[in-house]
Structure formats: structure tokens, C-alpha cells
Structure 1
């Protein structure tokens, strides 16, 4: 057996140590020498909150009294449509860029970039922090470019210097910081001097997604997670209200959740020659990236003949409402062939345990629908609006903060949500 050279061993140890330190990093990152301009100091504030996996009906289903009360005082949408695929990373980044996933580049939680010959995976800390993976201009970058400070207690891509800019205050993602500490940090941010005070804050909750994946959307554990978030929102709002600042709250989720068949799962179809395709892991959708494009057509035709309990698409011919096809794919990151299971079926190509709660399916399926509530001085009071696409949150937040952007640079339209503003 060949022994690796000492230099390779040392390099591996350094990489492992760096990854471990980064994973356990609980410290706040502060970008020095930034201040709000005099003009931006006069602007209101927005706290953009995401509760991962908080399906559109969870607040009522599990009687989230604070959220029901606060949204009743402001604006509640019947639901909010996630973008396709209804997964965490694509949709969190859509909300803060106003772009469909095929336009901003995060086309899945895990995907392959043909040009780079690399995989992106949400569990890969190095990739997550690499700004070259991210298109569009996130709201915090837009704010910082216009000399308005921002802060993030987690959001997809917030720990990456996109266009050379981090939020002025941010954390490397971890789940070890207690909620009361996080709420206290938000209070401290808003108590900074006007020159140093962030006007845009992002805040993220993973609990409902974790519980609903592991136990299913109808489980007592999911109900407990909803209650935890509701209590935390009550504490956060009370804490912020005590400061008497013009703070607006926008509460969203990235997607919904549904129950799937964990026993009768789908294997990798026999028609696929794995030597001909790169296939990143997935259960609610499989991307097939052809090593040789000549393999695409015969494989597609064979899959169409054998397909049971799943749909087969060429990238050129996916449903129009997905905005997820070869023409839309600005970064060439969508597979040549897509396999999408029909509910309640999911793929299991790695032999791993399948959890009962899943998302990632067509956004028009009701169980995939997300949540949108908003309240604060910028919003009208006591109104309910119809379901809308999540691409429209970006121009709404930009309008409240008075941030300029090129209308053609995003997919969202201000006219969709402008009527909810005073």
C-alpha cells in the first residue's frame, strides 16, 4: 500500500481542523469601518424572518396564537408559492434575490456545475461560503451597496461575500446559540448608534423543518416546533417593540411539507447507465448530467417507456410554470434529464432511511405552499391577500427600505405586493 506523503497528510489535517472550527464558530462577525449614510439613518427597519418548512396552514393547524394575532393586525396571505424546486436553499435565495432558482444559480440543495466540473451541496461549508456560486444581488448586498447597514442571524448565502460584501453583522450557521441569546443580539443591534444600527435584519428558524422531516407534518413533534417558533416570535416582537423604533416584520417560509411513502420507495431506474451520467443525491428529484450528450436521447426514450410513479423530462421541456428549463438555466446547472416522483412516492438511490416528511415537489401542490405574514408601520392592517409567488418579496422589502434596484434585474414585481403597503 502506497503511503501518502507527509505534506498531503498535513494538508488534510489543516482542512479538517478548519472545517471543524468553522462548524463550531459561534462568534459574531463584524465588518469594520462601515456606517449608515445620513440618508439611510432616516429609513425604517425590516426584520425578515424565515421559519423553514412552516407550511401555509401550520399557524392555524397548531394554533400559533402570536403569529395569528400579529398577522391579523397586519397582512396575511392565503399562502405563498415557493419556486421550483420547493427546497430550502433555492427558495431562501429566491426570497432575498427576487430571482427564480434557474436565474440565480442555486437550482437545488445539491447539484452539479458542468463548466466548473464541481458539485454544490448545502452541507459543504466550503462551497456554501464561496461567493462564485451565487448570482443575483441579495437584499443585504443591495443595502450595503447603498450605505445601509444589514445584519443576519442566518440566511442562505449570508456567510458568503457576494459581490465582495457580507452583511455588516453576521454569524456562520450553527444551531447551538440559544434563542434568547439570538433575540438579545437583535436588540443590541437595534440599540447601536444610528450610524452603526442595521436597518435590514434576517432571522432564521430551522425547528419546524427538522421536526416535520423526521416525524411528518401531522406529528406532535411538528406541533411542538410550531409552538416554539410562535413563542419565540412573541418574545422577539415584545423585545423589539420596547425600543420604540419603526420596525416592520416580514415572516415567511421557504416551502411546505407533505407525508410520503417511506416503505415503497423508487430505486434508480434500470434504463440509466451510471457510467454515462453524473447523478447527485436526491429523493424528490433526480438530475441526470450526461458525460456524453449522445446518451441523453436514448436514455430519455428508455426512461419514458419504463417510467412508473415518476415523470421524465428533458431540460428543454419542463412545465412552463416551473421557470426551470434549458433556456432559463443561466448557469447551466440543471440536469439534461429530470426525474420527478409522483406523490407519495420518492426516490431512494443510496439505500438510506427515508423520512416521512418531504418537500421539493411542484409548487402548485397545496402541501408545498409556504407562509407569508407581515406587520408593522409600513403595512396596512387586518387584510388577507391571495396566494402569490415568493419572487415578489424582494421588491416589497426594497420598497420599504427605499433601496434602488434595476427592475429588469429581478423576476419579482413590486405591483404584486405594493397594495399591502400604507
Structure 2
């Protein structure tokens, strides 16, 4: 079904990430010499699956027979609230660390670091693989440091040796490996000898996000992508069942998606002098950084932008909405802009003239930004529906399921999801 879309898909990636097309690294990376500790052998197995952009209502809206059947045998949340901004990299890293973006460092898909004097951007492989951008303890690091092997078929941060530790088995991000081959690799991991077998596996799907961006939420291409994810989840569960192992599954998405007004994209405000301010790429959120750090200059620009703002809101990072958890006071690594611009949905900023139909990144209370959460397997209660919750709470629940101690500071709280586990 998707073979005929490959050319468009690659063009879409170029369009979205603004990076040159490079040869894709498809070789599995393996950290040699690691083994499960004797205490780990009998611990549970957990596969965390993320479908990028899989909005909270997609499973029912597009009749995802596999996901709905699996949810009925396990736990379903009304929705899962993303962290702000509702973008891919901040949210995937929040799920895997249990921390808000201002605490783990990835405050946007693209942002400036004053100390490094460099811009982090999702399309820049060199920066994405530089561990110095990332803070917190990813779940795979927590596992590995406690004698439990992990594997990743893509996840934000998994290509970098954060705190010197990454998954034992992983792939550098690529989209050249067919989904059926990726599922075969998953099976190969689970059939390894028990001392070499990963107990924690992350698995990522990009398709729904990509096609929704390019063609819109209700497009045939986006709907086909939703169905591809559902079919693939069915294949994953069938493959895992054949191993005979007691495997648990968590299915999440990072954010939702909405259609935007592409005919009226907002240009860069004329008040911004790019000779004096750094403005990384952004559309539903724009950071503005003063090159000099001059407070008088920042205040002057802020007042000018506020005075002339039309169809967008201007914030200083000291006074953003409290429920965003996105303020200067909690910005541990000083990565928020001196001024933030937030467009009124369905509008967006477009400083380059490039834009897409589908977008996310908007306020986390916007219903279209809500994400999905399903969980099933021997560790989870059956037939349970729970209220919406923030994605930072997945981490402590997953750690509890795997028997991993969480002694470091995180924003997620075990009490939020503890009741969905059978033993609690």
C-alpha cells in the first residue's frame, strides 16, 4: 500500500526537516559484553510502541481493529496529554525520562543553547547524536545500570550515549528498513538466549505524523498510515505471542495533529532584527534569543511585539501559563527564548515560505493535541478505562513494572498510573 508513496515520503522528510538527503545507516548497533544479571532473568518484558502523531481519537475514528481489541483486553486512557510544546522530540524524551522539557533539556524541536552557542535541530544528525544536549536518565539507561538489557528500534535519544549509556541493541534512525523486517528484528531480539535478551524494547512509527503533515488529518494518505500502524501492531503482538514470553505492551503517541490555515501563515514580525536576535525554525512556537543578552534591548522588542501582535501571543518566559511547566524559573539549562511567540490556532508562523497542512505544537489543552495511550499484557489490569493524564507519568509506571528503582528526581509520579498494574 505504501510502496508507491516512497518518493513523496522522502520528499516530505526533506520538506519537514530541511536537511539534505543522505545515505541511511541501516546497520544494527550492538554494545558488546553486556548480559542480563541473574536477578533480571525472571523479570517482566516490556515493549513501548510509539506512533508519532497518532491522535487520541484515531483508533476509533478509523476503526483500528487491532488496537481496539488489545485495549479491550487491557487499559485505555481517554487521552494522554503531551508536554508543552506538543512536538515530537520534547515529548518522546519526556515519555522516556519522566521529565518536563525544561528539566530534561529538549525544550523544542529546534532551539538555541547560549552556553554552547549552537542550535539543536531535529534534522541535524551531528547535534542529535551529541549526548551533551540531553539530561535526565532515559528508561533504557535505568535498565542497563540495573543489569537489564534494552533495545531500541528508534526513539529520541537512543542514538546518543546519554550519561555514557545507551541501549544494548539499537539502530541509528533510518526509514529504509521495511516494517516487516523491523518486526523480524524484534523477534530475533526476543529469541536470544535469556542472558542476552532485552527486557525493555522501544519501537517507533513515523508514518502517521509524516502523512498528516503533508496531506492533512483526514487525508487518505493519513488514514492509510493509521491503518498501517494498526496492522503492524497486530503483527508485532502475533510475533511476540509465538515466543511464549510474558510480554507487556504500552502503545503511546507523542502528540495529536490538526489541520491549519496554510493560506494565512504568519510571517516573521518586522520588529525582529535578525542581526541582533537569533530565531531558530519554528511554527506553532517561536523562540527569540538576544545575541547580546541586553535586557533593555529585549524589553524594547517585547513591548514592540506586544503592541503590534496580531493573531499571536507574545510571552516572556517568566510568565507563560503555569500548566505548561515551561517557565524561566524551571529552565534548568537556560534554553528558552528571551521572548516566545505563540500563534492563534489554526494559524502558524512560516518564515521561509514552507509550510504543511497538518500541524502540532499548540497548547497542550487543545483537544486536537491530545495523544493516545493503551497498555495490555500480564502486568496490566483488563478492561480498564482511565482519565487523561500527562505523559511524564509513564516512566515511573514502566519502571515499576520492570522492577527498576527510581531514586533520582523526575516529574512523573507513580501514584498516577500505579493502579493500572495487576500487582497494585
TM class by shorter chain equals over 0.9
Deviation of the 1:244 alpha carbon: 1.3
Structure 2 residue matching 1:33: 3-state secondary structure: coil
Match of 1:345 among 333, 344, 347: 347
Structure 1 residue matching 2:340: 3-state secondary structure: strand
Cα distance between partner residues in 1 of 2:253 and 2:287: 25
Structure 1 residue ranges (4+ consecutive) displaced by more than 2 angstroms after TM superposition:
19-23
Say if 1:111 and 1:119, in contact at 8 Å, map to a contact too. Answer: yes
Deviation of the 1:365 alpha carbon: 0.2
Cα distance between partner residues in 2 of 1:22 and 1:298: 43
Deviation of the 1:221 alpha carbon: 1.1
Cα distance between partner residues in 1 of 2:352 and 2:191: 50
Cα distance between partner residues in 1 of 2:270 and 2:176: 43
Cα distance between partner residues in 2 of 1:104 and 1:198: 25
Residue number in structure 2 paired with 1:228: 228
Residue number in structure 1 paired with 2:63: 63
Structure 1 residue matching 2:270: 3-state secondary structure: coil
Cα distance between partner residues in 2 of 1:38 and 1:171: 27
Structure 2 residue matching 1:251: 3-state secondary structure: strand
Say if 1:22 and 1:172, in contact at 8 Å, map to a contact too. Answer: no
Deviation of the 1:20 alpha carbon: 9.4
Per-residue CA deviation, residues 357-400 of structure 1 (Å, 9 max, x unaligned), is: 00001110000000000000000000100000000000011000
Residue number in structure 2 paired with 1:99: 99
Residue number in structure 2 paired with 1:355: 356
Residue number in structure 1 paired with 2:156: 156
Structure 2 residue matching 1:327: 3-state secondary structure: helix
2:382 equivalent to 1:381:
yes
Match of 2:319 among 317, 320, 330: 317
Deviation of the 1:283 alpha carbon: 1.0
Cα distance between partner residues in 1 of 2:125 and 2:310: 36
Structure 2 residue matching 1:400: 3-state secondary structure: helix
Per-residue CA deviation, residues 138-168 of structure 1 (Å, 9 max, x unaligned), is: 0001100111000000000101001111200
Match of 1:300 among 280, 299, 302: 302
Per-residue CA deviation, residues 67-103 of structure 1 (Å, 9 max, x unaligned), is: 0000111000000000000000000000000000010
Structure 2 residue matching 1:180: 3-state secondary structure: helix
Pairwise mapping of residues 236-275 of structure 1 onto structure 2 (< 5 A)? Answer: 236-275=236-275
Taking a change above 3 Å as real, the CA distance of residues 91 and 207 of structure 1, as seen in their structure-2 partners, is same
5+ residue gaps, structure 1, are 1-18
- Report the number of matched residues: 402
Structure 1 residue matching 2:264: 3-state secondary structure: coil
Residue number in structure 2 paired with 1:416: 416
Deviation of the 1:21 alpha carbon: 11
Per-residue CA deviation, residues 312-347 of structure 1 (Å, 9 max, x unaligned), is: 000111000111111111111110000000001101
Cα distance between partner residues in 2 of 1:112 and 1:231: 39
2:116 equivalent to 1:116:
yes
Cα distance between partner residues in 1 of 2:315 and 2:414: 33
Task: Tell me the TM-score normalised to structure 1 length.
Answer: 0.94
Residue number in structure 2 paired with 1:45: 45
Deviation of the 1:41 alpha carbon: 0.7
Pairwise mapping of residues 402-413 of structure 1 onto structure 2 (< 5 A)? Answer: 402-406=403-407, 409-413=409-413
